[in-house]
Amino acid sequence: MEPTRSPPSLGQAPSRVGVRSRARVRLRIAPRLTAAAVSPYNPKPGGSAMDFSRLFKTTFDQFVKGIVKLILFTLVGCLLCFTIALIPTVMGGLIRGMLRYVREGIEPEFDELWCFDDFLQILWLVVLGGIAIAIGLALLVIPGLVLMVWWMYALFFIVDRKMTFIQAMGASRRLVTESGFWNHLVVLLVMAVLNSLGSGLAGLGTLLTAPFGLVLLTNAYLSSTRENTAPTQAALRK
Digit-coded pLDDT (tens) for 91-105: 999 999 999 999 999
How large is the C-alpha radius of gyration of the chain? 26
Question: What pLDDT is recorded for position 1?
Answer: 47
Are 212 and 67 in contact by the 8 Å Cβ rule? The answer is: no
C-alpha 56/C-alpha 216 separation (Å) is 7
Max intra-chain CA distance, the chain: 106
Mean pLDDT is lowest, of 124-128, 168-172, 202-206, for 202-206
SS3 annotation, 198-223 = HHCCCCCCHHHHHHHHHHHHHHHHHH
SS3 category, 101: helix
The structure's pTM equals: 0.75
| Residue 204: per-residue pLDDT | 80
Residues ≥6 apart with Cβ < 8 Å to 102? 62, 215, 218, 219, 222, 229
For range 142-159, the mean pLDDT: 96
Share above pLDDT 70 across residues of the chain, in percent, rounded to a whole number: 74
Q: How confident is the model at residue 40 (pLDDT cuts 50, 70, 90)?
A: very low
Non-local (6+) Cβ contacts of 205 within 8 A are: 197, 198, 199
DSSP letter, residue 151: T
**Which residues, at least 6 apart from 41, have a Cβ–Cβ distance to it below 8 Å?**
178
C-beta pairs of 222-227 under 8 Å, 24+ apart in sequence: 222/99, 222/102, 222/103, 223/50, 223/51, 223/55, 224/50, 224/153, 224/175, 224/176, 224/179, 224/183, 224/184, 225/175, 227/103
